[in-house]
């Protein structure tokens, strides 16, 4: 009998967890390959820190070859360009790869919702490289201010008041004094504006907890505009409608964090999908192509008709589940268990030592929330590389990578 070929594409929370689970648990022969577009995994949940420069790129990179056993998982660095589900193949820059089973974990893409100018005129926190580009831009704007003297260079506009936008705004706000001091700028000149469509920031939380976060941000000097409907982005300008009035907000750094969709590679494929997310059954399987499974932001998973919001927590649990499913499948053992998401909690950081969140149903704020946030990040590191990884790459009360 031929050895089954399992191909995992995308080494994020979902894909990497599936690969590591198989590496650890699979005892039957199988050819398992993980393809991802970089040599390293990065914690997407920390990209706001990379964008401000409070987490170095070196610390953010976790090299696959250091955590994968080549005798069990073959790693290939390649960018996937196309999925051909009818031919059981995917195409990458480096060639074509065939499979018996495909696990898709290609992650997310920012969703512009068709708003004009988003693609051309905004920065996104969509990958480590995109975050490094934003970090360089902020650093340059501060450094060059002594020559340009243009206050708009120090006005950062964030479109989106969800998790990504708020964590980024807070991280920047807590660094303004330091950046201003280093560059010899009056710390009252830099400005941060956050624009969101919802009634209050962080709609995943109730109004009371969101208000706690909003007060903290305002104390840090962040201007917040809720119920603002962004109509267009122009170069250094956001056009929006609020309370029936048209507004124009000018600033020379604009960040788009108003929403995400699934991978564009999935979106353009013949696999049935909704904006790059594959509707999967209770075993994370694509019904039209039963040898294809999806994990993380590429999967549209529901339980009791509730669509799960795409999070790293969900992606990692899906990766674990898929590994267990394949261990049973390849050993010809029955696997009846359905995927069930265990929502343990959500914490939004407000800078490095503050935050708000709900963990196991308990509301947290301040240092305790920041502590929980670091614990969540470190738990992920532990799950992929044990204590050694936590000590090398972990998040602690005192920064080691500022
Ligand atoms: C700034 C920010 C903060 C966040 N904070 C939180 C949080 O606090 N808690 C939480 O639960 N969630 C958070 N999220 C959401 C979370 O990061 C995502 O839900 C999670 O990363 C999804 O995991 P994934 O495995 O589906 O995709 P990803 O982690 O995005 O991984 C996708 C992988 O696929 C690779 N890839 C993509 N395209 C290709 C291609 N064409 N070819 C080859 N490889 C490819 C990528 O390089 C990457 O390695 C945050 C997101 C952002 C942006």
CA of 223 to the centre of ligand 1 (A): 28
CA of 131 to the centre of ligand 1 (A): 13
- Sequence-distant (≥ 6) Cβ neighbours of residue 223 within 8 angstroms: 191, 192, 193, 194
CB contact at 8 A, 341 and 317? yes
Give the separation between CA 70 and CA 284, rounded to whole angstroms.
Answer: 26
Average pLDDT, the chain: 95
For 54-117, give the DSSP string: SS-HHHH-EEHHHHS-TTTEEEEE--EEEEETTTTEEEETTEEEE-SEEEE---EEE--TT-BT
> Residue with the nearest Cα to atom 35 of ligand 1?
10
Cβ atoms < 10 Å from Cβ of 106: 27
Please tell me the predicted confidence (pLDDT) of residue 309: 84
Measure the CA dihedral 304/310/313/316, to 10°. 90
Domains in the chain, CATH or no CATH each: 5-108+262-343 (3.50.50.100), 123-259 (3.50.50.60), 344-401 (no CATH)
> 367-393 vs 312-330: helix axis angle to the nearest 10?
50
Q: Ligand 1, closest atom to CA 348?
A: 8
Please tell me the predicted confidence (pLDDT) of residue 402: 55
Averaged over 200-229, what is the pLDDT? 96
Please tell me the predicted confidence (pLDDT) of residue 396: 87
Give the separation between CA 95 and CA 80, rounded to whole angstroms.
Answer: 9
Which of 8, 10, 255, 258 has most ligand 1 atoms within 8 Å of CB, for mutation? 10
Averaged over 64-86, what is the pLDDT? 98
When mean pLDDT is compared across 115-119, 179-183, 303-307, 376-380, the lowest value belongs to 303-307
CA of 297 to the centre of ligand 1 (A): 7
CA of 295 to the centre of ligand 1 (A): 11
The percentage of the chain sitting over the pLDDT mark of 90, rounded to a whole number, equals 94
Give the separation between CA 335 and CA 344, rounded to whole angstroms.
Answer: 25
> Is 70 exceeded by the pLDDT of residue 304?
no
Instruction: Give the residue numbers annotated as catalytic, written as ranges.
Output: 167
> Is 60 exceeded by the pLDDT of residue 227?
yes
Please tell me the predicted confidence (pLDDT) of residue 307: 75
Please tell me the predicted confidence (pLDDT) of residue 308: 81
- In the structure encoding, which two tokens stand for residue 58, read together? 């070196």
Could you give the C-alpha distances from 10 to 76, 169, 180, 393, in angstroms and in order?
10, 28, 39, 21
Phi, psi angles (nearest 5°) of residue 354: -140, 165
CA of 181 to the centre of ligand 1 (A): 34
**Which residues does a 6 A CB cutoff place in the pocket of ligand 1?**
10-15, 35-38, 41, 44-45, 47-48, 79-80, 105-108, 125, 163-164, 167, 263, 265, 296-298, 310-313, 315
> Residue with the nearest Cα to atom 8 of ligand 1?
45
Q: For residue range 125-182, what is the model confidence (pLDDT) as tens digits?
A: 999 999 999 999 999 999 999 999 999 999 999 999 999 999 999 999 999 999 999 9
CB contact at 8 A, 314 and 296? yes
CB contact at 8 A, 231 and 239? yes
CB contact at 8 A, 26 and 72? yes
Q: What is the 8-class DSSP label of residue 2?
A: P
This prediction has a pTM of: 0.95
When mean pLDDT is compared across 9-18, 30-39, 306-315, the lowest value belongs to 306-315
Which of 83, 129, 311 has most ligand 1 atoms within 8 Å of CB, for mutation? 311
């Amino acid at each position: 009998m031929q050895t089954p070929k399992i191909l995992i594409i995308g080494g994020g929370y979902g894909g990497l967890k599936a690969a590591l689970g198989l590496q650890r648990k699979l005892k039957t022969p199988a050819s398992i390959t993980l393809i991802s577009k970089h040599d390293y995994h990065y914690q997407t949940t920390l990209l706001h820190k990379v964008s401000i420069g409070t987490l170095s790129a070196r610390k953010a990179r976790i090299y696959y070859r250091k955590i994968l056993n080549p005798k069990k998982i073959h790693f290939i660095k390649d960018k996937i360009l196309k999925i051909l589900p009818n031919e059981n193949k995917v195409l990458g820059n480096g060639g074509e790869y065939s499979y018996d089973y495909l696990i898709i974990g290609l992650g997310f893409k920012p969703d512009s919702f068709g708003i004009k100018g988003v693609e051309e005129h905004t920065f996104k926190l969509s990958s480590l490289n995109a975050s490094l580009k934003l970090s360089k831009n902020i650093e340059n704007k501060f450094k060059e201010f002594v020559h340009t003297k243009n206050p708009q260079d120090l006005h950062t506009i964030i479109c989106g008041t969800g998790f990504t936008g708020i964590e980024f705004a807070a991280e920047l706000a807590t660094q303004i004094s330091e950046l201003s001091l280093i560059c010899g700028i009056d710390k009252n000149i830099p400005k941060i504006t956050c624009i969101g469509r919802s009634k209050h920031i962080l709609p995943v939380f109730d109004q009371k907890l969101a208000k706690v976060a909003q007060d903290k941000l305002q104390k840090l000097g962040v201007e917040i505009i809720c119920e603002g409907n962004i109509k267009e982005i122009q170069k250094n300008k956001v056009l929006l409608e609020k309370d029936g009035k048209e507004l124009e907000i000018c600033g020379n750094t604009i960040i788009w964090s108003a929403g995400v969709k699934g991978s564009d590679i999935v979106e353009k494929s013949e696999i049935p999908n909704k904006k790059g997310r594959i509707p999967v059954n209770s075993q994370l399987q694509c019904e039209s192509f039963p040898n294809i499974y999806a994990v993380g932001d590429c999967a549209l998973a529901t339980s009791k008709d509730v669509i799960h919001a795409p999070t790293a927590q969900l992606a990692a649990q899906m990766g674990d589940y898929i590994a267990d499913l394949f261990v049973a499948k390849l050993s010809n053992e029955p696997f009846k268990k359905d995927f069930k998401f265990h929502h343990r909690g959500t914490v939004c950081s407000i800078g490095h030592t503050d935050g708000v969140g709900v963990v196991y149903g308990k509301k947290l704020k301040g240092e305790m929330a920041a502590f929980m946030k670091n614990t969540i990040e470190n738990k992920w590191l532990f799950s992929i590389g044990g204590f050694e990884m936590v000590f090398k790459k972990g998040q602690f009360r005192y920064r080691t990578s500022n």
